[in-house]
Chains A and B, each alone.
Chain A
Amino acid sequence: MITIKCPKCVAPIEIDAGTKFTKCPYCDTQIYVDRSGAGFYYIIDFTLDKDAAIGTFKRWASGPSKVKNLDKTASITNIKKMFFPTYFFRRHVDGKEKVIIEPAQSTTLPGLHRLKIPAGDFQIFDSSYKIDDAELMEPDIEMLHYLDSLPGSGKEQALVYFPIWIIEYSYKGTNYKAVIDASSSEVFASSFPARSSASYLAITAGGFMAFFIEGALAVKYPVIAVALMGVTALAVFLTSYKITKEAA
């Protein structure tokens, strides 16, 4: 919560991050909150706790593009709980409203250089906000640095801290990193052990070819062809079931 003064009666009024209009509780004056002249600090709450973050990682690791059973075989070596800073500017440029997002911290973490602010409920970040055991990554680039060079005039500028889990894991001796946005559950990773499609392709193509040949054969030897089809169907089913079951 932040407090502003009523322009009419000077009473303190508490406002929230999203408040555009408010009413003075003392003199009933309607007040417009003009954010163009100040810089705000916002923070987004964690909606994923540690267990949920690990669960989300496992869900992601079990996905079809990851190497099979990565969720069970990857060993998590380190977990970090952090707030990551980004600048948010809403500006008036040539009569149009523009949103500009700029980095507040140089990083090599996957997903975070893509410059976005994840979906979340903005809270005012001040001394009353408890960050608990999370690490707050301080911005290493000043807001003023951008304000001087951005086009147009400012309508709103803010530093937004958003919650992330950094999961470091190793798979077959190689270390990987995944970042989980703890507000919307999105998982970012620049590289991960990928699953090969070869066995899937081989089964499908093999099945198709076998049925193609058997279909052609059926014109002359229908009984043999149907019997072969039955065998092929069983073989395709059993091998594909084995592969999918192992990866489930």
Chain B
Amino acid sequence: MSELSVGLTCPACGGTISVGEGEKNIACKYCDSALHIDGDEGVMIAAFKNKITKEQSIDTVKKWWKKGLKSRDLKTKGKIVECYPIYLPFWKIKARTAGWVCGYEERRRTDSNGHVHVERIPLEQMVLRDVIYSNIACDPGDLGIRRLHNFHGELTLEDFTMLPTYESVTSKDDALSAAKMYAIDSGIASAGVPNITFQKVNAIIQDISMIYYPIWIVQYEYNDRIYLATVDGVTNSIISGRAPGDALFQSLAVTGGAAAGGLVASLSIPLAWYSSPEFGVMGFIFGVAITAIAYHFFRNGSERVEGDFKSNNKKSSSDVINDLNELSGLMRGMKI
């Protein structure tokens, strides 16, 4: 296995040279030769120093238990099972977006005779902005973390060997092309042109680095179930987590939502009568929307989820059809 290692020696005198992180031009300490280091595809690696203790991260999770419509007895019944720090790898890519986006905006107005006029306003916007793209460099699993939320911290390589470091299993070039796409898309969006007729936007990558970020994983128990939350090791804030919900909040939400939605919808009838039918329809849709939001919380609020989890619990369309069939069966049963 000796071919595994490649020594770095001065090409002029053969003496051992040492190269610091990020150095491009150095002088050999033995023969004073000026040497240029050509790292063909190097990526700067940086690690943020972990700033919080185990107790602090547990404290943060316990405070989080009390917030955000979680189960009311979580603060008394919740029990911390395990708490440990890890380093997670992230790609951090700085890109400059530059280009032009042209198009138009449509404005409608109704004159005193009730005629609707559509006015087209041509728009020509220059895009010039710097964006920072970040993405996790390993599989996020069920950690609920995908992006870096904080780019500031004390750099160190000291803890690096102390904490378990999760390995990067993604490719640099995939990250670069994803960053380019993100930069171009967000550049076009920032131009704020509703109807685009022409666009030419480019992204120039300025810098790529791999950031190792300290994150505390906190496992806790509630009703024999194990939940997980993650705490930012620099800012001491919750990044992601799952927690049990509360039946009281769920049923209050659906009662309030159905009441507000139903009343708003019924209010739309006189609105349609005395004002314009358009307002009436809008009012009705608004009422239904309020109820739909309340329904969503009522149906799924038994687990509270914060962070970037992929929604693998989404129902397929066949499930929805099944539900509707069952519902119509239920209705029929009620009539009899």
Contact = CB atoms under 8 A, between A and B. Distances in A.
Contact of B327 (A33, A185, A202, A219): A202
Interface string B251-285: 11011011101110111011000000000000000
Interface in B229-251: 242, 244-248, 250-251
Interface stretch (A128-136, A137-145, A171-179, A236-244): A236-244
Contacts of B331: 202
Contact of A99 (B16, B174, B259): B174
Given A52-B82, A99-B171, A196-B326, A62 B265 contact: no
Nearest to B141: A184
A151 to B, nearest CB: 13
Residue of B2, B19, B224, B270 with highest tally of chain A CB at under 10 A:
B224
Contact of A237 (B18, B169, B226, B251): B251
Given A52-B81, A207-B262, A233-B259, A13 B5 contact: yes
B131 interface: no
Interface string A55-89: 11011001111000001000000000000000010
Contacts of B315: 65, 194, 197
Contacts, number: 266
A58 B224 contact: yes
A204 B165 CA distance: 48
Interface residues of B, number: 88
A62 B302 CA distance: 8
B295 interface: yes
Contacts of A209: 262
A150 to B, nearest CB: 14
B173 interface: yes
Given A214-B262, A245-B247, A37 B298 contact: no
A113 interface: no
B6 A186 contact: no
B119 interface: no
B227 to A, nearest CB: 6
B60 interface: no
Contacts of A184: 139-143
B221 interface: yes
Majority secondary structure of chain A interface residues (helix, strand, loop or mixed) = mixed
Contacts of B5: 4-7, 13, 31-34
Given A33-B4, A240-B250, A64 B302 contact: yes
A12 B156 CA distance: 27
B262 A211 contact: yes
Contacts of B245: 248
B4 A35 contact: yes
A204 B258 contact: yes
B299 A197 contact: yes
B266 to A, nearest CB: 3
A236 B7 contact: no
Interface size class of A (residues with CB under 8 A): 35 or more
Given A198-B326, A208-B262, A186 B298 contact: no
B302 A207 contact: no
A215 B267 contact: yes
A153 interface: no
Given A55-B226, A119-B88, A241 B251 contact: yes
A240 B255 contact: yes
B224 A204 contact: no
In the A-B complex, list the 3 residue pairs whose CB atoms are closest, starting with the nearest.
A211-B262, A184-B141, A215-B266
8 contacts: A47-B84, A65-B313, A119-B141, A121-B166, A202-B330, A203-B254, A240-B250, A244-B298
Interface of B: 1-9, 16-19, 41, 71, 81-82, 84, 86, 88, 138-143, 164-167, 169-174, 217, 219, 221, 223-228, 242, 244-248, 250-252, 254-255, 257-259, 261-263, 265-267, 269-270, 287-288, 291, 294-295, 298-303, 313, 315, 319-320, 322-323, 326-327, 330-331
Given A31-B7, A55-B224, 15 more contacts: A6-B5, A32-B7, A37-B4, A38-B3, A55-B221, A96-B173, A97-B173, A98-B173, A119-B139, A121-B165, A185-B142, A240-B254, A241-B247, A248-B244, A248-B245
